[in-house]
Structure 1
Amino acid sequence: MKRFSGYYFLIVWCIFMCSGHGKDGFLPYDSSATTQCLEEPWKPLYGGGIISNPDFNLGISGWSAFGHGTIQPRLSKRGNKFITARSRAHPRDSFSQKVQIIEGNLYAFSAWVQVSSGKDQAVAVVFRTHDDNFVRGGDTLASHGCWSMIKGGIAANYSGSIELLFETADPSVEIWADSVSLQPFTKQEWKSQQDLSIEKNRKRRVRLQVTRRNGTGLEGAKVSIKQVRAGFPLGCGMNYHILESEPYQRWFASRFQVTTFTNEMKWYSTEKRRGLENYTTADAMVQFAKEHNISIRGHNIFWDDKKYQPHWVKNLAGDELRAAAERRINSVTTRYAGDLIHWDCMNENLHYRFYEDNLGENVTSEYFHKAHELDPKPVIFMNEYNTLEYSGDEVAGPVNYKKKIVEILSFPGNEELMGGIGLEGHFGAGPINLPYMRAGLDILATTGLPIWLTEVSVAVGEDQVTDQATCFVSFTGVTALLACSDLIKQQAQHLEDVLREAYAHPAVQGIVMFSGPAAAGFNETTLVDLDFDNTANGDVVDKLIAEWRSDVGGDVTDSDGLLETALFHGEYEVAVTHPDADKSYGSLRVVAADGDEGADMEEAPLTLDWH
């Protein structure tokens, strides 16, 4: 291949994508969030949305007492008005307001709360539906003397009245609230917000110029740009079946650039019998990933659930358990030193406490430090479920998650350690609560830490029908075909909803799905069938991979030799042709812009290699 004889090709600058305002006049989503406890609350987001008297400037007009107790208006020392619920007897005794919702709409919620005494008491917003179900929509840790923000939301599955109220477990404390907001968005408005965020945060406008050696622009040069690697890592779980299946290998390597081994690095896989380590399978999978330029998330060093310890570890305690754990962390981290981009250090340590109960409250912080000491390359992650998936799980909610990861990284010796936020993303059946998911990401983004969705899956149907295999044995005949087909289509739509929401959020740096081929045992979120033909879920994944890439096919430079285009972040091959010169090739890397995101244009040279 020859150089571009007589001419040369320049990258002049990159243009930042500007956020702008909502298209078609809709109200832009407000991503503001904080976990700080403030002397005074913020003003209500969206002016309160559909909430009547959101800032209580009209006293308690529009609000009613819920359950026992009384409600009354109050005034802060600085003259701010708010509402209180006192003389409570039950957790949900508070104040409430009924509003009208529309099926299919998405409702972003926020409020500021305080309690009359104590510190870090969980306070939640609860929505009482038309059929008398109580659905949590978000929570926070509230204290006396300052205001804490609740941010969350609901997805409306019916049209009619819904009642919002607040709860805290201790009925002896008063609940105070201010700046309450509930803002509706249609699905199209929500999708438009996602598209705007993707344009701003996942793409960059580049202006290319082909010039003569004297610096004048060359008109009519044909420029082709082909993406060879995406800048945003979208990956998939992998298991041992890949070592024995060429179709599985071809399918995986042609699509994904990051993986997590579903079981093969876990302690119960590498040391089934005490003192007899066997890394044969994990080693082979690491080698396969390296050969295909696939990054690896290490999963996991420890799992805090007693049920998932090697059988011989479950009854260890004290010094004996500590010695075994020390051997484990030394063995697995040094073996794969330099090979991994992440380590899930203590899996699910918000839900479980096996190591804390046996080795002390600081054990996770200590093992974060040890893992980093043994291999400084990987980002050390927490990894939890239900933080985004289920608003009813108070233990692993976004505020509690942030509190825990900050505690770990503040432990003496961990101050310079890079930690990460791993969100498993095992979603149940039914529509995704996208407002709650987005609010959770907003809250976690305030840490400034990298956020990954690490094990994304979506269940197929309700109750006993949780995967595609179960679906077809739960019905018979034509009923099975119709019912299962409908459920699987819904599952695929929900998977797309999750992936789009995560990709659109600027704080999310990567996604790994725990899904894959039926031949490898992925029965819940199956991407390809036994013949490696796409399922509906597989169609979604392939569609998004294609949508989130850029290929420019033969665009021509203008009279100044310029070509301007928007490219997704990633690595590209560039070809330039002109009737008066030989064809020339190069490589281009487009990365996220640093600095002021609001800038319209910034001169920023990009990597361009010619051969």
Structure 2
Amino acid sequence: MKNNISFLLLTFMMLFMWLVAGAQQAEVDKDIAKYRKGELIVKAKRGEKVTIEQLSHEFWFGCAISNGFIDGSMSADDRRQYEEKFLKNFNSAVTENAVKWLSMERQQGQVNYATVDGMLAWTEKNNIPLRGHNLFWGIHKFVQPWLVEMNDEELRRTLQNRAETITKRYQGRFAEYDLNNEMVHGNFYEERLGPEITKQMAQWAHNGDPTAKLYLNDYDILTGNKLPEYMAQIRKLLAQGVPLAGIGVQGHLHTDTFDRGELKRALDSLAIFKLPIRITEFNMPGQRSKYHRDKILTMTPEEEALKAKEMIDYYKICFAHPAVEGILMWGFWEGANWIPVSSLYKRDWSPTPAAVAYENLIFKTWWTKSSSAVGRSGTLSIPAFFGKYKVTVNGKSQEVALDKKVGKVVADFTK
């Protein structure tokens, strides 16, 4: 009798959890339809056949670019595969290490611009917007010793030179920059030069490029652990008049799963600032998983399936949120990823189940493709994901952009 009761209770709990998950998924799908789709209108003669093909998303589905892809340290075959797979899967990018000051100028006065130049040349050739990560990074272990040894005045001049030189050299080429990375967790520059230094960094960056978009970027925010501190920091910087263009939140401080409620709560909380939010550094599984902690390099089929599910759920919650404008993986291939098992592709370039799930989500579920005839009104209207489209009527084509800010676009074939 006791066993029967236990079985019934377990069955009830599982059914309840399944119903809750189903309700949450329905809400996510509803929000995606509400916030990620607009109206694509085609004007043509009655009865004419219309084909609508999505070419790209407005939302950023991006990834970090490894230095090895640019600096020659990657084999020719891997570089070919890396380029092919990147262009197949991503529409935006971020510099993984190339712009970091420690990477560019380990020895004072010896600045490596070549990797950044090469990365920008490649992304511009392929029409991929690129984030510059990062102008400054005040975590103590990432500050070069030669900077620490400077007196305050010399340090201030050197910071100004760094900001102005980088933004002037690359004026208008980076889509945005992370201004001073991970300030919640450490800020050598503020400790040395006072609480106004972040505003001065922003001003110096704008001296070099007045149009530069400057983002914050930090970790352990989407878990909720450091959300209050980040919120307080954003309020303080805005009150100081720091020209923030957006909020960056990293996505790799979870384990092999994540807290759906905390992710949604964090995004809702950050949205009050009315600034664009980007998920800047995503890995699944994350930094607190056994895979990173114990350097585990393989997964069982069951673990691969869980990884794919968790990744898809994370993307869905972020895509459904109206304040989020993009999500960027922090590596997609085991040969160039700090958490290798979080990759879409194995070392030999074979796809993981997560790669298949990702492609199905972005390029099938979240992809608009339609073929129909114009009705008697001479107008065809369909809901479509924000992005670029090719519209064809009787062999004639137009390319149009369905912009989230506008909400609708018209392709007119009557003129």
Tell me if both proteins adopt one fold, taking TM over 0.5 as the criterion: yes
Structure 1 equivalent of residue 115 of structure 2: 281
Q: Give the drift of 1:246.
A: 1.5
Q: Give the drift of 1:252.
A: 0.8
* Paired residue total: 395
Letter in 2 for 1:324: T
2:41–2:411: 8 Å Cα contact kept in structure 1? no
Structure 1 equivalent of residue 254 of structure 2: 428
CA-to-aligned-CA distance 1:86-128 (integer Å, 9 cap, x gap): xxxxxxxxxxxxxxx956978xxxxxxxxxxxxxxxxxxxxxx
Q: Which runs of 5+ in 1 are unaligned?
A: 1-100, 107-183, 212-217, 473-482, 578-582, 596-603
Structure 1 equivalent of residue 272 of structure 2: 446
Task: Measure the CA separation in 1 of the matches of 2:96 and 2:413.
Answer: 38
Q: Give the drift of 1:439.
A: 1.1
Q: Give the drift of 1:323.
A: 2.4
Letter in 1 for 2:132: G
Given candidates 506, 510, 513, the residue that maps to 2:329 is 513
Task: Measure the CA separation in 2 of the matches of 1:462 and 1:311.
Answer: 29
Task: Measure the CA separation in 2 of the matches of 1:400 and 1:419.
Answer: 19
Letter in 2 for 1:589: A
Structure 2 equivalent of residue 500 of structure 1: 316
Task: Measure the CA separation in 2 of the matches of 1:558 and 1:369.
Answer: 56
- CA, structure 1 residues 471+248, in 2 after alignment: closer, same or farther (shift >3 Å)? closer
CA-to-aligned-CA distance 1:543-566 (integer Å, 9 cap, x gap): 2221222111x3112233332321
- CA, structure 1 residues 364+185, in 2 after alignment: closer, same or farther (shift >3 Å)? farther
Q: Larger strand proportion, structure 1 or 2? A: 1
Task: Measure the CA separation in 2 of the matches of 1:562 and 1:269.
Answer: 55
The structure with the larger Rg is 1
Indicate yes or no: 2:203 matched with 1:363: no
Given candidates 402, 410, 416, the residue that maps to 2:231 is 402
Give the TM-score, by structure 1 length: 0.61
Structure 1 equivalent of residue 62 of structure 2: 235
Structure 2 equivalent of residue 568 of structure 1: 385
Task: Measure the CA separation in 2 of the matches of 1:492 and 1:590.
Answer: 30
Letter in 2 for 1:347: N
Q: Give the drift of 1:594.
A: 5.0
Q: Return the structure number with greater relative CO, CA threshold 8 A, min gap 6.
A: 2
Structure 1 equivalent of residue 402 of structure 2: 590
Indicate yes or no: 2:286 matched with 1:457: no
Task: Measure the CA separation in 1 of the matches of 2:220 and 2:99.
Answer: 23
CA-to-aligned-CA distance 1:480-503 (integer Å, 9 cap, x gap): xxx633223222221112111111
Structure 2 equivalent of residue 19 of structure 1: none
Given candidates 331, 345, 350, the residue that maps to 1:533 is 350
Task: Measure the CA separation in 2 of the matches of 1:532 and 1:610.
Answer: 48
SS in 2 for 1:516: coil
Letter in 1 for 2:304: I
SS in 2 for 1:312: helix
CA-to-aligned-CA distance 1:198-250 (integer Å, 9 cap, x gap): 10110123342313xxxxxx22x111111112111110111122235111111
Q: Give the drift of 1:300.
A: 0.2
- CA, structure 1 residues 210+422, in 2 after alignment: closer, same or farther (shift >3 Å)? same
Percent sequence identity is 26
Letter in 2 for 1:313: L
Indicate yes or no: 2:72 matched with 1:265: no
- CA, structure 1 residues 280+607, in 2 after alignment: closer, same or farther (shift >3 Å)? farther
Letter in 1 for 2:218: E
Task: Measure the CA separation in 2 of the matches of 1:434 and 1:447.
Answer: 22
Q: Which runs of 5+ in 2 are unaligned?
A: 1-11, 73-78
Task: Measure the CA separation in 2 of the matches of 1:461 and 1:563.
Answer: 48
Q: Give the drift of 1:461.
A: 9.5
Letter in 1 for 2:369: D
Which residues in structure 2 correspond to 1:297-316 (within 5 Å)?
A: 297-316=131-150
Indicate yes or no: 2:3 matched with 1:200: no
- CA, structure 1 residues 276+351, in 2 after alignment: closer, same or farther (shift >3 Å)? same
